[in-house]
Amino acid sequence: MTYLFLCGTVFKQQYRVSKKWSIFKLFIKLQSYKLIIKIMTGTIKTLTDKGFGFITVEGQEKDLFFHSNSLVGVQYNELREGDAVSFETENSPKGMNAVNVKRS
C-alpha cells in the first residue's frame, strides 16, 4: 500500500500504480476531494481591526474573505488596502475563502 501526501493530508492509495486505468481512477478521486488548486490574484478591498479582510477578484461579483491566519510571508499589519495579492481558494460553510495569501 502506498501513501500520497497532498496539501497537508495523507491519502491511502488503494489502486495499483502500475496500471494506467488505476492512475486515472486515482486522479478522479483526488478531483473529488477538490485538491486541484488554482492560484488566483486580486487586490485587498478592506481590512478590519479584528484580523480579517476581503479580496476583490477581477471578473467576480463577490469578494473573498481571508483571515490573518491564512497569510504567508507577510504580517497582517503590513498589508494595505489596494495591495496586489495572490492566493488559493477553499470552500467553507459560509462560502469561498482565500487561503495562502501572499503579496504579489
pLDDT by position in tens, the chain (length 104): 344 444 444 444 444 445 555 555 665 555 555 544 678 899 999 999 999 999 999 888 899 999 999 999 999 999 999 999 999 988 888 888 999 999 98
Give the pLDDT of residue 96: 86
Q: What's the CATH code of the domain at 71? A: 2.40.50.140
Domain count of the fold of the chain: 2
- Residue 92's contacts (CB-CB under 8 Å, 6 or more residues apart) are none
| Structural domain of 12 | 2-32
pTM, full prediction: 0.64
Residues 27 and 46 in one domain: no
Residues 48 and 87 in one domain: yes
Per-state percent for the chain, helix, strand, coil, to nearest 5: 20, 45, 40
SS3 9: strand
Residues 80 and 47 in one domain: yes
Give the pLDDT of residue 3: 42
